[in-house]
Amino acid sequence: MTIETTLSRVDRELAAGDLASVLRARQRLRGLVGTYPSRLDLRERLAGVYRRLGDAAQAGRWSYLAEQRDPAEVAAFERAYRAAVARMSALGWTSDPDTATTATARSRLAEVLAAARAETGRPLAYDWAAHPEEPGERLRWWQVAGLVLLGVALVVFEVFAVGNAVVTVGQWLTSD
């Protein structure tokens, strides 16, 4: 589905006005922002939906990079995400701040990044915020495969143990 088609559905759902439709519109916009994080217009539309739902922190989150934003919403966002690293991750920006389309967005992204670097003492970047684990913390494919195999083995063992217990109890109850 194209962006235009999705936005058309969002408009229809918002026009319907009932809570279920507004929540569907929110989900569609969240998906679009996740796919196109540098589209500031999508972020502002999502902020509008959260505003309509009465969620000031989320409205502040998604309007954080906008030219015009509500100071009360921004304050609510900053209270909800007190650490700069948390704000950095919550913004969902996945590239260099210089790629933002407006000077305001570039400036705000750079400010949050500088604050996060100061908090952690680490050379962070926005692509880190999309995958915040330490480089050594990422599981390798063979570790994941081993965990899956262990899980399957435990399930099989459990099935045999329960089956054996049922048969044993059944034999015990029927023996004279």
State whether 105 and 158 are in the same domain. Answer: no
**pTM listed for this prediction:** 0.70
Percentage of the chain modeled with pLDDT above 70? 93
Mean pLDDT of all residues in 32-46: 95
pLDDT digits (tens, 9 = 90+) for 49-62: 999 999 999 999 99
- Indicate if 60 and 99 belong to the same structural domain: no
For residue 36, what are the domain limits? Answer: 1-79
> Is there a single domain that holds both residue 127 and residue 85?
yes
146 with 92, same domain?
A: no
> Quick one: 18 and 74 in the same domain?
yes
Residues 2 and 66 in one domain: yes
- Say whether both 152 and 111 belong to one domain: no
| Same-domain pairing of 87 and 63 | no
Per-chain mean pLDDT for the chain: 90
**pLDDT tens digits, one per residue of 111-137:** 999 999 999 898 888 875 455 554 445
| Number of folded domains that form the chain | 3
| One domain for residues 72 and 93 | no
* Residue 158: other Cβ atoms inside 10 A: 10
Averaged pLDDT, 64-76: 96
